[in-house]
Amino acid sequence: MLRGALCTTYCPEILKLATQSGIFVYRQPSWKRKYSPPQVGDSLFCGDNMAASTGKGGVTSFQKKSRTKTLQIPGTRPSSQGNQLLVSTGVPSLDHIIGGGIVVGTVLLVEEDSFGNYARLLMKYFMAEGIMTRHPLLLSSAELHPKQLLRDLPAPVSDDIGKAALHQEDVSSEKNVEKEATMKIAWRYQNLRTEQPELGAFSKFGHYYDLSKTMSSEMIDTAPSRLFYLPDELPLEEQGMWNSIRNPAYVKLLQSIQDVVREGQFDLTVPQPKDVSRTVLRIGLHSLGSPLWGEQDGGTSHDTSLPHFLHALRAVLRTSLTACLITIPTHLFQDMAFTRRLEKLCDSVIRLESFAGSEKEQNPAYKDYHGLLYIKQLSQANSLLSYMPDCNDFAFKLRRKKFAVEKLHLPPELQDSQQREQDDPVAALKTPSTGCFSTSGKSKLDF
């Protein structure tokens, strides 16, 4: 009845009773084994647990758990947040602000800008990086044919000379801006650096690309790809065959993703031979949720097809070597709660705001940028907290040869005092008054 118990202190009566009954086996500490009999306060260990607790010479059989080895896959690197594998988005500056890249097994949602040009550019970078790292691709679209997207991929910059040329383009543009503002800034501030270096400029993870050139067809053919074009996969007469909760376009797309994951040996739940080399599948879903996919009013009709698709997609990605980038035109949705629901069903979410066609395009404070980038949420896979960037204000610019994300830096106020008074809303509300009467305009008695 007492077998299996551990007694740390005992009295002589308990020791005598235990040794007579044979329940306890006494093991004396090694430092007093040869010199004194058992004393009060010595340890008693049960015979059933003693072999597991101690070994020869009183040494415990405890073994430290070995550290799990991460997979060594080309084009990936381990993350400092939760020891996860990361793949690059193709834009080193974007990788820097989202924690090093896209975590394998997660979804990065990009909320498109007004015209979708910059979101489409990020998709091209993501696919181009997959070709350079020999990752299989799965690209789907309902607007542009996936073959057209692949033909427009930017060409890689493979040597240091090309990288220096990309950097020289930014340096020359900065010099022109500094030359124009030389007479406007006080002499004591002229030697200060106006902008911070590009985010991730010294990162060796990922590749650099030249937007003025396109990738050769021979290089594109080196990476296996599966293209999903909705008009070819689902005829027009079948797109209207809805049931109560499912959109047939999303069902067909999910089936294609599951087939590629299963056939390409990306599923981690299925044991694979040791001699099989592992790789990562890159999934790109361009302009998902647009009217071409069957989304009419963005949740106002209580259609749950898109949220159900994202939920099922995350279940597939969690147990496979895949990384997914999705672009969704959320500005077309009328229900903001529907947009928030889609964001919660993804791991990382960023939103692009383009200055094209807006008042910010004429604002001199944003003259060096083409849009703003907002971080809505970041992945928390295998960690309690997500990665926290040191800044929350980011902007992007599109040069002739590259796309970059930078910290937002507003220039100093360079306008004259009269212009500042006109722009000051507080000063505009101040009106001089004399006695019981008030007059509008400036008075000579005003300071």
169/31 same-domain check: no
pLDDT tens profile 152-198: 999 999 765 445 555 555 545 555 544 554 445 555 555 555 555 55
Closest CA to 256 of 276, 231, 229, 278: 229
**Residue 109 in domain:** yes
**Amino acid identity for residue 321 in this structure:** L
174/315 same-domain check: yes
**Residue 1 in domain:** no
Single pTM value for the model: 0.72
**Residue 424 in domain:** no
94/202 same-domain check: yes
223/340 same-domain check: yes
CA distance 199 to 405: 7
Sign of torsion over alpha carbons 200, 206, 210, 211: negative
Report pLDDT for 383.
80
Task: Check if the beta carbon of residue 49 is closer than 8 Å to that of residue 5.
Answer: no
Sign of torsion over alpha carbons 212, 217, 219, 221: positive
189/45 same-domain check: no
CA distance 145 to 138: 13
Domain count, the chain: 2
**Residue 426 in domain:** no
**Phi, psi at 24, each rounded to 5°:** -100, 145
CA distance 371 to 389: 19
- 286 CB-side CA count, 13 A: 30
**Residue 441 in domain:** no
Q: Parallel, antiparallel, or unpaired for β 107-111 and 102-103?
A: unpaired
Report pLDDT for 417.
47
80/216 same-domain check: yes
45/91 same-domain check: no
Task: Check if the beta carbon of residue 250 is closer than 8 Å to that of residue 309.
Answer: yes
Task: Check if the beta carbon of residue 154 is closer than 8 Å to that of residue 128.
Answer: yes
- CATH value at residue 376: 3.40.50.300
- 310 CB-side CA count, 13 A: 24
What's the domain range around 351?
A: 76-407
20/127 same-domain check: no
Sign of torsion over alpha carbons 316, 298, 146, 106: negative
- 273 CB-side CA count, 13 A: 2
**Residue 7 in domain:** no
81/33 same-domain check: no
- The number of beta carbons lying within 10 Å of the beta carbon of residue 192 is 7
**Residue 430 in domain:** no
**Phi, psi at 156, each rounded to 5°:** -75, 155
If you write DSSP's letter for every residue of 352-368 in order, what string do you get?
EEE-TTSGGGG-GGGTT
175/36 same-domain check: no
Q: Which of 392, 407, 422 is the last residue of a domain?
A: 407
**Residue 174 in domain:** yes
49/98 same-domain check: no
If you write DSSP's letter for every residue of 413-430 in order, what string do you get?
--S-HHHHHHH-HHHHH-
Reported for 307-315, long-range contacts at CB under 8 A and 24+ positions apart, including other chains, are 307/341, 307/342, 307/345, 308/245, 308/246, 308/250, 309/247, 309/250, 309/253, 309/254, 310/107, 310/342, 310/345, 310/346, 311/345, 312/254, 313/107, 313/254, 313/257, 314/106, 314/107, 314/345, 314/346, 314/347
Report pLDDT for 219.
93
Q: Which residues contact 147 (CB under 8 A, 6 or more apart)?
A: 227
Per-residue pLDDT of the chain (447 residues; tens, 9 = 90+): 444 444 444 455 655 655 565 554 455 555 555 545 555 444 444 444 444 444 555 566 766 666 666 678 889 999 877 778 999 999 999 999 999 999 999 999 999 999 999 999 999 999 999 999 999 999 999 999 999 999 999 999 976 544 555 555 554 555 554 455 444 555 555 555 555 555 555 457 789 999 999 999 999 998 899 999 999 988 766 665 555 457 899 999 999 999 999 998 899 988 888 777 889 999 999 999 999 998 876 666 668 899 999 999 999 999 999 999 999 999 999 889 999 999 999 999 999 999 998 888 888 888 889 999 999 999 988 888 888 888 889 999 999 899 999 998 876 665 544 454 455 544 444 455 554 545 555 556 655
83/48 same-domain check: no
